[in-house]
Amino acid sequence: MKDAARALLLRLEHLRTSVAALVESRSADDPTAQDPLRGLYVSADTAARLAATPLPRTPEAPAAVAAHIPVQPGELTPPEAGEPLPPSADRLALLAGDFGLSELDAAVLLAALAPDVDRRFEALYGYLNDDVGRRRASVALALELSGTGPYDPEARGRFHPGAPLVAKGLVALEDEERPLPGRALRVPERVVAHLLGDDTLDGQLGHAGVELLAPGGAAPEDGVAARIALAERPVAVHLRERRAGSGADAVSLALRGAGRAVLRHRPEHVDHGAARALLREARLRGAGTAVVVELPDEQPGPLVRELAAPDVTVVFAGTQPYDPTWAPAAALLALDDTAPETDSLTAWSEELPSYEGDLAEAVGPYRLGAGQVRRAARGALALAGFDGVPVGLGHVQRSARLLSAPLLDRHARRVRPAVGFADLVLPDEPLGMLRELAGRARHRDRVLGEWRLRTGGGRGRGVVALFAGDSGTGKTLAAEVVAGELGLDMYVVDLSSVVDKYVGETEKNLEKIFAEADRTDSVLLFDEADAVFGKRSEVKSSHDRYANLESAYLLQRLEAFDGIAVLTTNLRANIDEAFTRRLDLVVDFPFPDVELRAQLWRSCLAGVPQEPGLGAELDLCAKEFELAGGAIRSAAVTAGYLAAGRGEAVSSADVRVGARREYVKSGRLVPGTGTAWTP
């Protein structure tokens, strides 16, 4: 038997002696003591005896009942045949110190939990409660066993909602309809299990999203997280993160490295019962245990007020700024997460030592905290193990992409890239600028952070590019290629969900998108960007004024943007010059010449069965039909459907039909006819 269980049973043996003395005292002058139906009804004699019993004049219980219940470690005397119990085994005494309990509190707690450990107390309590159906200690019975009674105002105060027993979740009062002396006391099973030596995490917390992290890892170094972990006294901290989860990961690692257990909580909403159980769990596990809470995006105040405790280290991590109204009664420290983002490469290297290739190049686009890196690396190893191959670039990208919060789905359409640079047909200059754009996204932390080439003014580390060119010249395809090269998802902003007729609503919708993009590793695409990034005009009406306000907001927001964004437009002249200054790259997509059009025809039909000699026909179509890349792709699709309908290979006639239809769609004259062609 564990020492903790022996210590608790020894205390219960002391309590049983007191209960026996009280039973003997009660039965000595109780004429109904031998009545087999005692406790099922109240006779006239019993009522008369109770009415004639005077109230106690002093708060002292009878000597036979007021048995001393020790609450200091080492006061227990083990049975003669048993081995000596170390002070650490007496968990009730340790719990009393950690929870700030008085000797009376500890005695009440012991009396309340007795039936949960020893069933004999159920029958004894039923007798003492004069009700065979009430087999738990009532408030009056627990106080009487502790040497006092409900007539003592100080003793009654131990059951106040703000008193340690109730406020800290050690005892619950049942039977709300009864007066206080008759209310039953119940001790949560987690508390009973702890006193018996069981340190399993509370099941209620497991369902609420709480994870227990054991001590271990490297000792914390300098920084905010290290100062929190090495603080001599419990602290309550609001840690503002650069992105969701980064600060919480850093603090959790530092606390564990300092030899402290961590209860990591990711709540979706405020659950008062779970919050109380979380603090109780931290206290049960000792003063070194800390709580790290990832604050929800909306209304975190109630959760902060519930969990801010002076005797437990609690770290509230979130991207929102600190609000002093969250916990006005608590001394909450407001700190910023200042851990360098370049540390993530070290974490990747530690988790993937056998990775073949340039690891820095592979993980450069991802802005993950150390804890997220470890989860992503383990996911990549699991994927590689499932495939039966060494971990590679695809495994790393897929696992890291899963950790990027897909919160943009509410405002944008996600595109999983399925193309690469081999699918682009562009002149060398724009193609080189697209590769430069991918390189900027990979190396921005080193250039702007480590090399300190970022200017002040609160500017972010974002990469913003403008793709300008006629419709169908490949702007959207190029954005998808860049996203695929970086191993990121692309989100196309839906302008219908952004633009609003009410003043100020468009800016609010854009702010939601930018805020989520800052927290997400992805490429954000504003297609037809001149709809929201247009030029400011002279104010001639209220409409002009509010339109200019929208542009001013976007100018400010781009300065602080930390993500990757691509703006596309068919009319570059419509983009405000102030936006152009804030762009990292402006890529012009020219209308394809004859040579590029021929390459586009061949690229679009590369995987299609073709009749012999079709290549020459494609060269002729490139000369005769001045089509952009998007139109050529549509013409190739039309030719493919015509051939599939016949069950044959694509012929020259199919290609010409497709090209002519694209001319008709655009309202242009078909070459060689002088009129619009119809099939």
Based on the domain organization, do 615 and 649 belong to the same domain? yes
Residues in the chain: 679
Based on the domain organization, do 153 and 256 belong to the same domain? no
Q: What is the pLDDT confidence band of residue 222, given thresholds at 50, 70 and 90? A: confident
| pLDDT given at position 565 | 93
Phi–psi pair at 514, nearest 5 degrees: -65, -40
- Domain limit, last residue, from 292, 319, 336: 336
Based on the domain organization, do 18 and 167 belong to the same domain? yes
Q: What does the pLDDT look like over 336-352, one tens digit per residue?
A: 876 554 467 888 888 89
Based on the domain organization, do 14 and 149 belong to the same domain? yes
CB atoms near residue 462 (< 10 Å): 24
Q: What is the pLDDT confidence band of residue 40, given thresholds at 50, 70 and 90? A: low
Residue 299 half-sphere exposure, CB side, CA atoms within 13 Å? 5
- Domain limit, last residue, from 306, 336, 366: 336
- Domain limit, last residue, from 148, 165, 195: 195
Q: What is the pLDDT confidence band of residue 53, given thresholds at 50, 70 and 90? A: low
Residue of 556, 559, 479, 569 lying closest to 524 (CA atoms): 479
Listed ranges 70-74, 142-146, 242-246, 401-405; the one with the highest mean pLDDT = 142-146
Contact 491, 523 (CB under 8 A): yes
C-alpha–C-alpha distance, residues 13 and 227, integer Å: 46
Q: What does the pLDDT look like over 580-619, one tens digit per residue?
A: 888 899 999 999 999 999 999 999 999 999 999 899 999 9
**Domain assignment of residue 22, yes or no:** yes
**Domain assignment of residue 413, yes or no:** no
Burial (Cβ within 10 Å: 0-12, 13-18, ≥19) of residue 541: exposed
Based on the domain organization, do 539 and 622 belong to the same domain? no
Quick one: average pLDDT of 128-153? Answer: 90
Mapping DSSP to helix (H, G, I), strand (E, B) and coil, where does residue 293 land? strand
**Domain assignment of residue 410, yes or no:** no
Contact 244, 319 (CB under 8 A): yes
CATH number at residue 660: 1.10.8.60
DSSP state letter for 232: S
The share of the chain scoring above pLDDT 70, in percent, equals 86
How many folded domains does the chain comprise?
A: 5
Q: Give the domain extent around 510.
A: 421-589
**Domain assignment of residue 675, yes or no:** no
Contacts of 679 by beta carbon, 8 Å cutoff, 6+ apart = 657, 660, 661
Contact 424, 481 (CB under 8 A): yes
Quick one: average pLDDT of 319-347? Answer: 77
Mapping DSSP to helix (H, G, I), strand (E, B) and coil, where does residue 530 land? helix
Bridge-based pairing state of the strands 210-213 and 564-569? unpaired
C-alpha–C-alpha distance, residues 96 and 200, integer Å: 20
Cα three-residue angle 290-295-299, rounded to 5 degrees: 135
The pTM of this model reads 0.72
